[in-house]
Amino acid sequence: MLKLIIVRHAESQWNPLGRYQGLLDPELTDRGRSQAEALAHELRREGITRIYSSPLKRTYHTAKILSDKLGVPLYREERVIEIDHGNWSGMLVDEVREKYPEEFELWLKEPHRVRFEGGESLEDVFKRVKDFLDFVREKHRDETIAVVSHTVPIRCMYCALLDIDLSRFWGFGCDNASYSVALMEDERNVLQKLNITCHLGELYVEAHKAL
């Protein structure tokens, strides 16, 4: 059995603003770095043997704090990078709502039908995270590993792990510096913990519902 700990990156400079990040690359905030420290303290008992991370700064810097505190190796992993938001990248939620009202409404209600102009669809992300999950299942059987990623790939991972349709994408919470635990067994995958944030205390900030 593989124990997979799924981590969303700590707070970036654009998270409090409600700005779509996609493949753009803002740094962590001071609070984000403190969140990552708190998360490292929370995960110290898990016996993690290695960490995979999206190469973007907000994920990789979160993962580097975990790696340094836990004393485990860290690897860049392109398959868990954030969705390419295309033309939405760098825009505030309110700006997107005003400029692309129909696409924004579809994103909230039927996200599996959206392909971002100049970017990706959920199906694109699903395929690459599914490939990553198949890879770690084969390579790290009977280990405990962590992956540090972003809201869209993480929710796609949940859909892949539970074999549910991408139309259920918004049914999972995904806050900054949260972690979830999935047990990848031979017979089934079990989502044992979801979006755990109690370790953050006063550092907790609720995620924007459209991000």
Query: Does residue 208 form part of some domain?
Result: no
- Tokens for 2, please give them: 């593989």
Q: Give me the domain span that covers residue 189.
A: 2-203
Instruction: Note the pLDDT of residue 54.
Output: 98
Q: Is 85 a catalytic residue?
A: no
- Tokens for 50, please give them: 């290695």
Query: Does residue 130 form part of some domain?
Result: yes
**Number of folded domains that form the chain:** 1
Query: Does residue 189 form part of some domain?
Result: yes
Query: Does residue 211 form part of some domain?
Result: no
Instruction: Note the pLDDT of residue 90.
Output: 97
Instruction: Note the pLDDT of residue 102.
Output: 97
- pTM for this prediction: 0.98
Instruction: Note the pLDDT of residue 165.
Output: 97
pLDDT single digits (tens) 21-51: 999 999 999 999 999 999 999 999 999 999 9
**Edge-first strand listing for the sheet containing 144-149:** 74-76, 50-53, 144-149, 2-8, 179-184, 189-196
Query: Does residue 95 form part of some domain?
Result: yes
Q: Write the DSSP assignment of the chain as a string of letters.
A: -EEEEEEE---BTTTTTTB--TT--PPBPHHHHHHHHHHHHHHTTS---EEEE-SSHHHHHHHHHHHHHHT--EEE-GGGSPP--GGGTT-BHHHHHHHSHHHHHHHHH-GGG-B-TTS-BHHHHHHHHHHHHHHHHHHSTT-EEEEEE-HHHHHHHHHHHHT--GGGGGGS---TT-EEEEEE-SS-EEEEEEEE-GGGGGG--PPPTT-
CATH number, domain of 23, equals: 3.40.50.1240
pLDDT single digits (tens) 77-135: 999 999 999 999 999 999 999 999 999 999 999 999 999 999 999 999 999 999 999 99
Query: Does residue 15 form part of some domain?
Result: yes
Query: Does residue 209 form part of some domain?
Result: no
Query: Does residue 19 form part of some domain?
Result: yes
Given 61, 85, 150, 208, the catalytic residue: 150
Q: Is 41 a catalytic residue?
A: no
Instruction: Note the pLDDT of residue 132.
Output: 98
pLDDT single digits (tens) 143-181: 999 999 999 999 999 999 999 999 999 999 999 999 999
